[in-house]
């Protein structure tokens, strides 16, 4: 480990990836996987999250037990005064910025929240950090770091061949991906203009425990369990590259420790699946664990109206982070998917609690056939 990271501000730490990241830093893992408890971090975490529908304090039930190392601050990243107070109160030296509105379908129905949190929120945090750390091109610092979390969706949509590299021009299509692209540009502008000690990563689709069940995998696991319809957008031929969430977080940790300022790193699972093939694999795995017959469950697949502007394929070339930082994914897809399915099935109370909220209303108002 090269950088000394002491007071780490994690934004969006009550969400899917952020809560797994906090666990990883604290030597915990939702599934108890020993190979993902090796961060070696000894400092303190300040989790700033305003608890939108996607922010779930249940995700942090293990972390709260480490009272001297884990602090929760319910605050909005767009609230400059609150961010200034938090930087000062905890003498923040590290920012890991996960907080975002993150679901493409929601961004189509209501883009405003995405512009607010993803663009204005990111700008606010960057600006507060710049002033608190007093960085400029004449006062570069190497004892602080701001890591901005982004997505491969900023690169647009691929045809059947090729991969996104760190130099692929941005070409976002959805309100979600365009808001993330805007925030990436603002973050990089802070590096070039103000000497902000900054790194950025663009990752593919994550899967694992604590994911809100509006996203493909937890939604389908929950619907298989409950005998509900399995809605596939369009013909189900869109392709996504899937990475286990704890492998993503190990990559972020390696960047925080050894990444070069001003650099962006692609993180990928090298694991592409057509949606319909992935769903069939999931049915084969989930049906027997829920006492159902896979062929019967398959009859619940419903092809529904396609998502507008649905990107055809995402695939990441992650050779830079492998070569430069020695990162390598640890989890195979076979193992990771099985672990994930079992986790959701064994944590029925987690799923039921989260499904009883606003999410339920959102589905019934906006989609039929689910
Ligand atoms: P998530 O929706 O599960 O969690 C987002 C968290 O941010 C929630 O806890 C929410 O309460 C919080 N939040 C939202 N607005 C906020 C605000 N204004 N102030 C404070 N907190 C706020 O999202 P996720 O899937 O964990 O994604 C985390 C990050 O990773 C996002 O930046 C996303 O763009 C990026 N990413 C996600 C994926 C993926 O597959 N999920 C892939 C690549 C990149
Ligand atoms: P999602 O989990 O929303 O992630 P993203 O859109 O950020 O990639 O969706 C993954 C893929 O699954 C995407 O191609 C859309 C598709 N999809 C369905 O076919 N049905 C669904 O109910 C959902 C939520 C997604």
**Of the listed 176, 244, 314, 344, which one is catalytic?**
176
Determine the distance separating the centroid of ligand 1 and the alpha carbon of 101, expressed in angstroms. Answer: 6
Q: What are residue 318's phi and psi, to 5 degrees?
A: -110, 30
> What pLDDT was estimated at residue 360?
58
How far apart (Å, rounded) are the C-alpha atoms in residues 51 and 184? 23
Mean pLDDT of the chain: 95
**Three-state secondary-structure class, residue 144:** coil
CB contact at 8 A, 122 and 156: no
- 209 φψ region: left (φ > 0), alpha (ψ -120 to 50), beta (else): beta
Cα distance between residue 75 and residue 82, in whole Å: 7
Nearest atom in ligand 1 to 97's CA:
32
If one counts every other C-beta atom within 10 angstroms of the C-beta of residue 148, the result is: 26
Domain count along the chain: 1
- pTM (2 decimals)? 0.97
- The Å distance, Cα 351 to ligand 1 centre, comes to 18
**What would the mean pLDDT of 44-58 be, rounded to a whole number?**
96
pLDDT in tens, 217-259: 999 999 999 999 999 999 999 999 999 999 999 999 999 999 9
CA of 52 to the centre of ligand 1 (A): 10
In angstroms, rounded to a whole number, what is the distance separating the alpha carbons of residues 119 and 198? Answer: 17
Residue 361's pLDDT is 59
The answer to whether residue 237 sits within a structural domain is no
CA distances from 295 to 223, 282, 286 (A): 15, 12, 12
Q: How does pLDDT run across 39-49, given as a tens digit for each residue?
A: 999 999 999 99
- Separation of CA 176 and ligand 2 centre (Å): 13
pLDDT band per the 50, 70, 90 thresholds, residue 216: very high
Does any domain span residue 338?
Answer: no
> Rounded to whole angstroms, how far apart are CA atoms 216 and 275?
9
- Residue whose Cα lies nearest atom 6 of ligand 2: it is 104
**Which residue has the CA at smallest separation from atom 21 of ligand 2?**
216
Residue 356 confidence class, pLDDT cut points 50, 70, 90: confident
pLDDT > 70: percent of the chain: 96
Is 176 among the residues known to form the active site?
yes
* d(CA 204, ligand 2 centre) in Å: 12
Please tell me the predicted confidence (pLDDT) of residue 363.
Answer: 55
CATH number at residue 189: 3.40.50.720
Number of H helices and E strands in the chain, helices first, is: 14, 12
Pairing state between β 239-244 and 272-274: antiparallel
Does residue 362 register a pLDDT over 90?
no
Whether residue 286 lies inside any domain: the answer is no
* Residue 165 counted as domain residue: yes
Q: Is 233 in the pocket of ligand 2 (CB under 6 A)?
A: yes
pLDDT recorded at residue 6: 97
pLDDT at 2: 78
Q: Which of 49, 76, 153, 272 is catalytic?
A: 153
pLDDT digits (tens, 9 = 90+) for 156-208: 999 999 999 999 999 999 999 999 999 999 999 999 999 999 999 999 999 99
In a domain, 109, yes or no: yes
Whether the predicted pLDDT of 370 surpasses 50: no
Q: Is the pLDDT of residue 19 over 80?
A: yes
Query: Residue 258 belongs to what domain range?
Result: 7-210+243-270+312-325
Q: Which of 275, 279, 363 most suits a substitution to test ligand 2, by most atoms within 8 Å of the C-beta?
A: 275
Instruction: State the pLDDT at residue 367.
Output: 46
d(CA 353, CA 350): 5
On whether residue 110 sits in a domain, the answer given is yes
Pocket residues for ligand 1 (CB within 6 Å)? 11-12, 14-18, 49-52, 54-55, 76-78, 98-102, 117, 121, 149, 151, 180, 203, 205-206, 212
For residue 13, the model assigns a pLDDT of: 98
216 lines ligand 2 (CB under 6 A): yes
Active site residue 153: yes
pLDDT tens column, 276-329: 999 999 999 999 999 999 999 999 999 999 999 999 999 999 999 999 999 999
Centre of ligand 1 to C-alpha 151, Å, is: 11
What confidence score (pLDDT) does residue 278 get?
Answer: 98
Position 280 in a domain: no
121 alpha carbon, closest ligand: 1
Predicted confidence band at 365 (pLDDT cuts at 50, 70, 90)? low
Q: Dihedrals φ, ψ of 201, to 5°?
A: -135, 145
- Residue 76 designated active-site: no
| Average pLDDT of the segment spanning 350-367 | 68
Rounded to the nearest 10 degrees, how much is the dihedral formed by the CA atoms of 114, 115, 117, 120? 170
- Is there a domain that residue 215 lies in? no
Which position among 49, 73, 93, 152 bears the catalytic label?
A: 152
Q: Which atom of ligand 2 is nearest to the CA of 307?
A: 15
């Amino acid at each position: 480990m090269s950088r000394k990271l002491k007071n780490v501000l994690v934004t969006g730490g009550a969400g899917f990836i952020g809560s797994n990241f906090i666990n990883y830093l604290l030597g915990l893992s939702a599934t108890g996987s020993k190979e993902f408890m090796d961060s070696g971090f000894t400092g303190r975490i300040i989790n700033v999250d305003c608890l939108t529908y996607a922010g779930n304090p249940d995700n942090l039930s293990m972390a709260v037990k480490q009272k001297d190392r884990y602090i929760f601050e319910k605050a909005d990243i767009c609230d400059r005064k609150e961010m200034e107070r938090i930087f000062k109160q905890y003498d923040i030296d590290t920012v890991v910025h996960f907080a975002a509105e993150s679901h493409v379908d929601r961004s189509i129905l209501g883009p405003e929240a995405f512009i607010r949190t993803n663009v204005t929120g990111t700008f606010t945090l960057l600006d507060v950090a710049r002033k608190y750390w007093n960085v400029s091109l004449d006062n570069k610092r190497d004892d602080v770091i701001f890591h901005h979390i982004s997505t491969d969706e900023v690169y647009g949509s691929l045809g059947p061949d090729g991969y996104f590299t760190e130099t692929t021009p941005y070409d976002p299509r959805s309100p979600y991906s365009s808001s993330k692209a805007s925030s990436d540009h603002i973050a990089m502008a802070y590096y070039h203009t103000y000497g902000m000690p900054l790194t950025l990563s663009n990752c593919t689709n994550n899967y694992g425990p604590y994911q809100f069940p509006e996203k493909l995998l937890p939604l389908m696991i929950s619907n298989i369990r409950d005998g509900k319809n399995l809605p596939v957008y369009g013909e189900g031929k869109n392709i996504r590259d899937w990475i286990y969430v704890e492998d993503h977080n190990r990559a972020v940790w390696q960047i925080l420790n050894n990444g070069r300022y001003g650099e962006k790193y692609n993180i990928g699972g090298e694991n592409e699946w057509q949606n319909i093939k992935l769903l069939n694999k999931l049915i084969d795995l989930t049906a027997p664990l829920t006492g159902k017959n896979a062929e019967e469950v398959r009859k619940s697949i419903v092809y529904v109206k396609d998502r507008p502007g649905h990107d055809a394929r995402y695939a990441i070339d992650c050779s830079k982070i492998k070569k430069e930082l020695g990162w390598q994914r640890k989890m195979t897809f076979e193992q990771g998917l099985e672990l994930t399915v079992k986790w959701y099935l064994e944590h029925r109370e987690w799923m039921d609690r989260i499904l009883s909220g606003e999410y339920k209303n959102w589905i019934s108002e906006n989609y039929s056939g689910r």
